[in-house]
Chain A
Amino acid sequence: MPKRTDISSILVIGAGPIIIGQACEFDYSGTQAIKALKEEGYRVILVNSNPATIMTDPEFADATYVEPITPEVVAKIIEKERPDAVLPTMGGQTALNTALALFNDGTLEKFGVTMIGADADAIDKAEDRQRFREAMDKIGLESARSGVAHTVEEAYKVLERTGLPSIIRPSFTLGGTGGGVAYNKAEFEAIVKSGLEASPTTEVLIEESLLGWKEYEMEVVRDRNDNAIIICSIENVDPMGVHTGDSITVAPALTLTDKEYQIMRSASIAVLREIGVETGGSNVQFAVNPKDGRLIVIEMNPRVSRSSALASKATGFPIARVAAKLAVGYTLDELTNEITGATPASFEPTIDYVVTKIPRFAFEKFKGAQPLLSTAMKSVGEVMAIGRNIKESMQKALRGLETGLDGFNRVLELEGASRDEITAALAKQTPDRLLNVAQAFREGFTVEDVHAITHFDPWFLRHIHEIIAEEANILENGLPLDAEGLRRLKAMGFSDRRLATLAVRSVHVAGGLGETQARRSGLLHDALKGLAGATSEAEVRELREKLGVRPVFKRIDSCAAEFEAVTPYMYSTYEAPSFGEAECEARPSDRTKVVILGGGPNRIGQGIEFDYCCVHACFALEEAGYETIMVNCNPETVSTDYDTSDRLYFEPLTAEDVLEILRVEQSNGTLLGVIVQFGGQTPLKLAQALEDAGIPILGTSPDAIDLAEDRERFAALVEKLGLKQPLNGIARSRDEAVAVASRIGYPVLMRPSYVLGGRAMEIVDSQQQLDDYITTAVQVSGDSPVLIDQYLRDAIECDVDALCDGERVVIAGVMQHIEEAGIHSGDSACTLPPYSLPAEVVREMERQAEALALALGVKGLMNVQFAVKDGVVYLIEVNPRASRTVPFVAKAIGQPIAKIAARVMAGEPLTNFPPIKRDLPYMAVKEAVFPFARFPGVDPVLSPEMKSTGEVMGLDLDFATAFAKAQLGAGVRLPDSGLVFVSVKDTDKPAILPAARKLVALGFTLVATGGTERYLAEAGVPVQRINKVAEGRPHIVDRIVDGDVALIFNTTEGWQSLKDSQSIRMAALGGRVPYFTTAAGSVAAVEAIGSLRGAQLEVRSLQSYYA
Chain B
Amino acid sequence: MADAASSHAQPSAGQQPKGATGVLVLADGTLVWGKGFGAVGEAVGEVCFNTAMTGYQEVMTDPSYAGQIVTFTFPHIGNVGCNDEDLESKVDGAVGCVVREDVTVPSNFRSREEFTRWLAAKGKIGLAGIDTRALTRRIRLSGAPNAVIAHHPEGRFDLPALLKRAQAWPGLEGMDLARVVSREKQEGWEGGVWTLGQGYARSPRDARPHVVAIDYGAKDNIFRNLVKAGAQVTVVPAQTPLETILALEPAGVFLSNGPGDPAATGAYAVPTIKALLDRDVPVFGICLGHQMLGLAAGATTIKMQQGHRGANHPVKRLADGVVEITSMNHGFAVDNSALPDTLEETHVSLFDGSNCGIAVKGKRAFGVQYHPEASPGPMDSFYLFEKFVGMLQR
Contact = CB atoms under 8 A, between A and B. Distances in A.
Contacts of A331: 321, 323
B181 to A, nearest CB: 21
Interface string B353-368: 0000000000000000
Interface string B3-40: 00000000011100111000000000010111000000
A650 B197 CA distance: 41
B269 interface: no
B383 to A, nearest CB: 13
Interface stretch (B258-266, B277-285, B312-320, B338-346): B312-320
B323 A332 contact: yes
B321 A562 contact: no
A13 B140 CA distance: 44
A226 interface: yes
A576 B17 CA distance: 11
B107 A258 contact: no
Interface stretch (A45-53, A346-354, A793-801, A968-976): A346-354
A256 B131 contact: no
B133 A350 contact: no
A854 B53 CA distance: 58
A463 interface: yes
B314 A256 contact: no
Contacts of B137: 561, 583
Contact of A227 (B12, B110, B311, B323): B323
Given A258-B58, A484-B17, A578-B33, A583 B351 contact: no
Interface residues of A, number: 65
Contact of A293 (B19, B32, B110): B110
Nearest to B378: A265
Contact of B53 (A255, A260, A350): A350
B74 A351 contact: yes
A1038 B376 CA distance: 64
B75 A389 contact: yes
A560 B131 contact: no
A347 B80 contact: no
Interface residues of B, number: 72
Interface string B72-98: 011110011001011000000000000
Interface in A202-254: 225-227, 229-230, 252-254
A257 interface: yes
Contact of B107 (A255, A346, A576): A255
Contacts of B376: 258, 262
Contacts of A353: 75
A462 B74 CA distance: 19
Contacts of B197: 292-294
Contact of A576 (B18, B34, B54): B34
Contact of A257 (B52, B54, B100, B378): B54
Contact of B76 (A225, A259, A354, A579): A354
Nearest to B111: A257
A259 B107 contact: no
A226 B374 CA distance: 20
B331 interface: no
Contacts of B76: 254, 354, 389-390
B55 A258 contact: yes
A459 B321 contact: no
A560 B134 CA distance: 10
A344 interface: yes
Interface string B126-156: 0001111111111010000000000000000
A564 B108 contact: no
A580 interface: yes
Interface in A261-276: 261-263, 265-266
Contacts of B12: 580
Contacts of B105: 458-459, 462
A1055 interface: no
A333 interface: yes
A579 B30 contact: yes
Contacts of A265: 378-379
Given A258-B375, A291-B109, A564-B140, A348 B18 contact: no
A748 interface: no
Interface in A287-303: 290-295
A158 to B, nearest CB: 28
Contact of A256 (B14, B54, B311, B375): B54
Contact of B51 (A352, A484, A578): A352
B71 to A, nearest CB: 10
Contacts of B132: 352
A562 B375 CA distance: 20
Interface in A409-456: none
A227 B194 CA distance: 25
Contacts of A292: 109, 196-197
Contact of A583 (B104, B109, B133, B375): B133
Interface in A534-588: 554, 559-564, 575-580, 582-583
Contact of B314 (A333, A389, A459, A484): A333
A213 to B, nearest CB: 12
Given A257-B80, A333-B321, A346 B34 contact: no
B252 interface: no
B178 interface: no
A949 to B, nearest CB: 35
Interface in B137-185: 137-138, 140
Contacts of A263: 196
B314 A344 contact: yes
A482 interface: yes
Contacts of B73: 350, 352, 560-562
B321 A225 contact: yes
A331 B54 CA distance: 27
B323 to A, nearest CB: 4
A89 interface: no
A482 B13 contact: no
A257 B17 contact: no
A265 B83 CA distance: 21
Contact of A348 (B30, B54, B325): B325
B350 A344 contact: yes
Contacts of A462: 104-105, 107
Nearest to A346: B314
Contacts of A575: 131, 133-134
Contacts of A333: 314, 316, 321, 323, 350
B100 A389 contact: yes
B377 A262 contact: yes
A346 to B, nearest CB: 4
A559 B311 CA distance: 10
A458 B30 CA distance: 38
A609 interface: no
Contacts of B138: 579
A463 B86 contact: no
B309 interface: yes
Given A344-B351, A354-B75, A579-B138, A227 B322 contact: yes
A1001 B134 CA distance: 78
A1 interface: yes
Interface string A620-647: 0000000000000000000000000000
A1051 interface: no
A563 B134 contact: no
A351 B388 CA distance: 34
B101 interface: yes
Given A347-B314, A583-B131, 17 more contacts: A229-B325, A292-B109, A293-B109, A293-B197, A331-B321, A331-B323, A332-B314, A332-B323, A352-B132, A459-B107, A462-B104, A462-B105, A561-B133, A562-B140, A576-B129, A579-B135, A580-B12
27 contacts: A252-B53, A252-B74, A255-B79, A256-B80, A257-B55, A257-B108, A261-B54, A262-B376, A291-B109, A292-B109, A332-B323, A346-B323, A348-B325, A350-B51, A350-B53, A352-B132, A388-B100, A389-B101, A390-B76, A457-B107, A562-B308, A563-B140, A563-B306, A578-B34, A578-B131, A580-B14, A583-B131
